[in-house]
Amino acid sequence: MITAEGIIGTVVGFIVKTAATQIAKLPFDKRRKACRSLTKLYYAVQALDEVTESIFTTVNEFRSTESGEAYAVINALNNHMHEVALASNMFVDIGYELYSGLEIIDPALAACCDALYISKFDFLSEMSHTVELDRSASERRIVVKMPSRTTDANVLEGGYMQVLDAYRRGDKHYWPDTWVQSEEPQQIVLTWENNTAANAFLSRLAEHRVVLVEAKSKLRDLLKSSFKIEELLFQTDTRPYR
């Protein structure tokens, strides 16, 4: 998931923008479940942000003129690979509840964003295995897989309008294609000596982090301005799908 921060940030930003005007219209008995799904989304984004910061911190701890950038990056990914997996799993785990919460707020928005989970390209499954230790070569190396598909706000907006048009026609099961082909390299192979690849990875991760942090801030502001503390802390049972 660590290489898909830009995509996650873009989707979260689109959710905030589209949901902001709809939340105030929700009936009282629906607000709490909608709030809970958005709150869990916030914590998932927060987890991804935290592990990213940990990677940059560890890189700085291992960075030196003698060892080079590759040595620092590989040690950072080795140290935090488990955290990356846990953060990725959080996005997988909230899938059903996030869709249900967005459906309460705006069914067209739910259909548009659920492509993260139901897309034939199996985006989240792919992103859950973005950092892998490769032992097949003569020396151990880390393969960082980049998204083969990506998206942007205009594509998401176009998909959203397609769903709205489909709903007006009476089609209640329309799922838009909210992805475009990525021009990024499909993977970056990190070895102990390849400082160029390590710098490319850090540069890409820094770009993605900016989008993620901005989206997290917008989502936090949405929760703060749209819900009361009783709604933010609402939890009646451990079965959120009900």
Structure confidence at residue 126 (pLDDT):
66
Least confident of 64-73, 128-137, 163-172, 233-242: 233-242
Q: How far apart are CA 18 and CA 239, in angstroms?
A: 27
Least confident of 63-77, 120-134, 215-229: 120-134
Least confident of 15-19, 37-41, 124-128: 124-128
Q: How far apart are CA 214 and CA 208, in angstroms?
A: 10
Q: How far apart are CA 206 and CA 42, in angstroms?
A: 20
Structure confidence at residue 240 (pLDDT):
46
pLDDT at 120 over 70: no
226 occurs within a structural domain: yes
240 occurs within a structural domain: no
34 occurs within a structural domain: yes
Half-sphere exposure of 110 (CA within 13 A, CB side): 20
Average pLDDT over residues 215-227: 94
> Residue 103 is part of which domain span?
2-232
238 occurs within a structural domain: no
Phi-psi region of 193 (alpha: psi -120 to 50; beta: other; left: phi over 0): alpha
Least confident of 55-64, 84-93, 197-206, 212-221: 84-93
- Confidence category of residue 238, pLDDT binned at 50, 70, 90: very low
Question: Could you tell me if 14 and 156 are in contact, meaning their C-beta atoms sit under 8 angstroms apart?
Answer: yes
Instruction: Assign 133 to helix, strand or coil.
Output: strand
pLDDT at 113 over 50: yes
Residue-wise over 159-180: b if at least 16 C-beta within 10 A, else e? bbebbbebeeeeeeebbbebbe
Q: Dump pLDDT digits (tens) for 169-193.
A: 998 778 888 888 877 777 888 888 8
pTM as predicted: 0.87
221 occurs within a structural domain: yes
Total domain count, the chain: 1
128 occurs within a structural domain: yes
Structure confidence at residue 106 (pLDDT):
93
Least confident of 100-104, 127-131, 221-225, 229-233: 127-131
Q: Dump pLDDT digits (tens) for 48-62.
A: 999 999 999 999 999
Residue-level length of the chain: 242
178 occurs within a structural domain: yes
Structure confidence at residue 125 (pLDDT):
66
Contacts of 223 (CB under 8 A, 6+ apart): 35, 38, 39, 42, 232
Least confident of 114-128, 168-182, 205-219: 114-128
36 occurs within a structural domain: yes
